[in-house]
Amino acid sequence: MSDLTAAKSWTVTGDVAPTGRVSFRTVGEPGIDIGTVSPIEQLLGAVCSCFGQTCLALMQFHGLAPVGLRVVCHGHKPAGSLVGKGLDQLRLDISFAGSLNGREPRIIDDAKKLCTVTNSLSKDIAVSVALTDGIAA
């Protein structure tokens, strides 16, 4: 069994088509079903999807023809006690499949302000957990 207190890094890539459809892959695993990977990779997939779709919406808002893009999300968990540990870093690398006439930095900057998932992760949010009745068959 691996050392659960060791630092760990994950990378998930989301290729976002101009239609908004996203295909995911992890290192060495192209075309993954996001439901079959670890929960942290699912979280990084959500970051890729939301950020990419926010970029597409901004392209349309600015009157630009939507182009596909790739969002590579790198997450890192520091070493140490498991209690209270989560990711301490997220880095997104964005590349566009076509030209946006020099507007790429503006699209990325605006998407950082508008992406619901990255905004949720960058704030302290209240998380509550409650026991409910059993699962219905």
The residue ranges of every structural domain in the chain are 8-121
d(CA 126, CA 128): 6
The architecture that CATH gives domain 8-121 is 2-Layer Sandwich (3.30)
Looking at residues 80-95, what average pLDDT do you find?
Answer: 85
Tell which wins on pLDDT, 56 or 135: 56
Q: Which two tokens stand for residue 74?
A: 């790198």
- Tens-digit pLDDT profile for residues 32-75: 676 777 888 899 999 999 999 999 999 999 999 999 999 999 99
- Please say if the pLDDT value at position 2 is more than 80: no
Residue type (1 letter), 126: A
Q: How far is CA 74 from CA 21, 52, 62, 67, in A?
A: 21, 15, 28, 23
Q: Which pLDDT score, from 0 to 100, does residue 5 have? A: 82
